[in-house]
Structure 1
């Protein structure tokens, strides 16, 4: 062991004393001090280490003992995409524990958020648990467990996708679009690792075309398929959403409620936050452990908005790669058919704000049934 590494480890041990607990038989969750303490690793017969941290383990750990390691580089920040690593990390743990002689240590710097998130995701999949139940199970073994809010939401999304990553899941699409938007905000271009967000051009002839599509009203070119839609709900107060009278009445009612003590500070914070961070992906849509209740026909009629067609980005939208905002033109006749914005929310006529947004204006688009059209031509 190099002297510099020894001095660094001693300094970390003082600030971050060894902390580790056994969450499951032969599965440990701890901090970096535990993962770099060779004596501890030998005494506990640790055979595998999964590092979820900003830096990999020092070289002396792997060279001192015969141990299998896996490293995931990630910061403990709400907007980090830890969800993408769930499948590979879970597989690493599962494969290691197949041998009854093996023991796995999962760690980050403190063993509180990043590594805890991975262990929770493992418990969720292994026992088909909701996030909350898996969280409580892990916390009962290690009281320090506390994933940050963003990681907790990603665990809930993992549960919603049945413990896998489903690229067709609406909430997953929105989640990744938001991650991409954060990158575009600073880089001003769409990073290469998000190019998969650009879905295939629906106008390309394929063996099994989607039956329901949206066409440019002027030249009839297909510009989107029904599966490309990102639906949003109409606000409950839809009729007079933006009328001055309704806004005044709402303000007056809030003021009266405040005087009566009916409005809490928390409600005010939530109200302000909702306005600042307007989004079509709400925490409620990922609510823990609650199955969506069947909707009545009346509820379905008023919930889904069709005033604007918000869609996922498509390959024919060339400008979305190198611009943060702009107009969408039909790739054939060049007619303006919509707009896009990576960094600002776009407000639908129903009042909902969607971010990021790629939308087609209904007056420029026609909905049609491809199969029906083919049959008509054939006949």
Structure 2
């Protein structure tokens, strides 16, 4: 029988010093000037829906406006919060990180800092926090972002294939929830980046990759370079035509979960079963703020494929969300 854990109200109400100079709490301690001054707090990170400095001019604030939702992109703030905390402590200051309850958003920021400074996993960082603040429990989306943070070596950069895949899934979630995408991150146009648009990372050096894996996809009609190789998304084939008997809205492939872009890791028959290349959204694709549309060559206007932020089903049967597909008969790979 499941029982709800009983926590000491004082532990929930107070702030805890997770490592020297770094404190964690809910919003209540941040409302008391005296309480914070007694503990030597000099810097405050507010991670809430509507952060508002309670004592401007008396403490150094960093405000992060984010809701506590699985779909929220919090990883994009990890570099800034790390720098803010690191520099404050280096100068002898003490930092309080808080959200409303001190359970999810602020915990995620503190865990990210511990991961980078101590070179530990997301789970190890959370265990450290929970030992001092038992209610610490980031939502599932934040935990996935912490694990991604470790996977990309704490380098939150669009040069990282895995991070771009996360952003792609995040944009699709925004489009579905709100009907628009606030900040759209697009893969570079290889025509404008001779060195290869988004640089491949974590998949070996260029010298170890075959020529086929390095060259971009090109329009078969006019030979215009379209997509860098590491912006092509490969997936495990589904059940073929049988999978078309019903529409799988619980996608068989979510970009956020399937980040492989190395063709060598795909089953041998995938290339023949799948009739389209699935790609990241690229700069030259038009009308990307719409739910769906066509993908046409930016040079000769030849129709190459289609996109749909809600997903498309590949000819192999896999449901890909979001989906930006170009027919293999229209491009040279």
What TM-score bracket applies, with the shorter chain setting the length? Answer: 0.7 to 0.9
Q: Does the CA contact (< 8 Å) of 2:220 and 2:330 recur in 1?
A: yes
Match of 1:129?
Answer: 120
Q: Distance in 1 between matches of 2:179 and 2:154?
A: 33
Q: Does the CA contact (< 8 Å) of 1:116 and 1:146 recur in 2?
A: yes
> How much does 1:189 deviate?
5.0
Q: How does 1:139-218 map to 2 (within 5 A)?
A: 139-185=130-176, 188=179, 190-191=181-182, 193-194=183-184, 197-204=185-192, 208=195, 212-218=215-221
1:352 aligns with 2:326: no
Change (3 A) 1:207 1:57: closer
What's the TM-score once normalised by structure 2's chain length?
Answer: 0.81
Q: 1:106 aligns with which of 81, 84, 97?
A: 97
Q: 1:50 aligns with which of 45, 52, 64?
A: 45
Q: Distance in 1 between matches of 2:102 and 2:255?
A: 29
Q: Does the CA contact (< 8 Å) of 1:32 and 1:111 recur in 2?
A: yes
Count residues in correspondence. Answer: 303
Q: 1:325 aligns with which of 268, 292, 300?
A: 292
Match of 1:363?
Answer: 329
Q: Distance in 2 between matches of 1:17 and 1:172?
A: 34
Q: Distance in 2 between matches of 1:45 and 1:75?
A: 28
Change (3 A) 1:156 1:222: same
> How much does 1:154 deviate?
0.6
Match of 2:209?
Answer: none
Unmatched 5+ residue regions in structure 2? 1-8, 198-213
SS in 1 for 2:169: helix
> How much does 1:221 deviate?
2.4
SS in 2 for 1:276: coil
Q: Distance in 2 between matches of 1:189 and 1:72?
A: 21
Q: Does the CA contact (< 8 Å) of 2:236 and 2:266 recur in 1?
A: no
Q: Distance in 1 between matches of 2:194 and 2:279?
A: 23
Q: Which structure has the greater CA radius of gyration?
A: 1
If each structure's helix is expressed as a fraction of its own residues, which one has the higher value?
Answer: 1
Q: 2:301 aligns with which of 307, 321, 334?
A: 334
Deviation per CA, 1:209-252: give whole Å up to 9, x if none: 685122222232222231221222235xx5xx4449xx9xxxxx
Match of 1:62?
Answer: 56
> How much does 1:22 deviate?
1.4
Q: Distance in 2 between matches of 1:96 and 1:304?
A: 52
1:115 aligns with 2:106: yes
Change (3 A) 1:92 1:170: same
Q: 2:17 aligns with which of 22, 25, 28?
A: 22
1:34 aligns with 2:45: no
Unmatched 5+ residue regions in structure 1? 1-13, 248-271, 287-291, 368-379
Q: How does 1:237-276 map to 2 (within 5 A)?
A: 241-243=240-242, 276=250
Match of 1:89?
Answer: 81
